[in-house]
Amino acid sequence: MDVTIIRFPGTNCDFDTANAVKKILGTEPKIVSCKENEIPKSDLIIIPGGFSYGDYLRSGAIAAREPIIDDLELKGNQGVYIIGICNGFQILTERKLLPGSLMKNSSLKFISKNIELKIDRNDTFFTSKYKPDEIVSIPIAHHDGNFFADQETLISIEDNNQVALRYLEPINGSLNNIAGLYNKDLNILGLMPHPERAVDKKTGTNDGSRIFESALDFYSK
């Protein structure tokens, strides 16, 4: 399975993500600079967490305009699987590859802790190893994770069953407690929780590992 991780100035979860990929998918991911014009042949592209360009302007706003994102958009439209984690989710919304936007947490404070989430659907590339409506524990670490969309967009998201997972309890002001969502074709996923930090019970939880296991299971069929 060919996996590529895109690195930006300020990315700080690239090695954690690479280690999770190696541990669960059994492959060495390519880590490429956002200054490249093309992404290597990939079955899965990951935009990891961090603070690209120091979150200047808006979180993910500058990163979404880097050269490599043109090719990311092209590959996403061709059906390549893409996951954006935390800052990666912000970048995907800034590029309009996912609907809505991520605003400052309603508390105006950085939140870093394990939280409970509900899996909304388990029939996708990213979630087949979960049970329907399963409650899982995965850490979050963000200041701008408050999901917002206008009412028309929010209705469309719900009607199209694009919500991937929800906070079990209100945590940051996100509408409908949305913690992650898909594009309409279900090949692009953005989520604020960090599954790469939840792949070993020694760190508190391994509930995030099944996102990677689901991808491997899909690819192996």
Contact 7, 29 (CB under 8 A): no
Q: What is the DSSP string of 75-130?
A: HHHTT-EEEEETHHHHHHHHTTSSSSEEE--TTSS-EEEEEEEEE----STTTTTS
Please tell me the class of the 3-220 domain.
alpha beta
Contact 4, 45 (CB under 8 A): yes
pLDDT value of residue 57:
84
pLDDT tens-digit readout, 169-211: 999 999 999 999 999 999 999 999 999 999 999 888 999 999 9
Name the DSSP class of 66.
Answer: S
The set of catalytic residues is 86, 194, 196
What does pLDDT average to in each consecutive run of 10 residues of the chain (221 residues)?
Answer: 96 96 96 96 97 90 95 97 98 97 96 96 95 95 97 97 97 98 98 97 92 91 70
Residue entry with tokens 């399963």 = 134
The pTM for the full model equals 0.96
**In the chain, domain spans:** 3-220
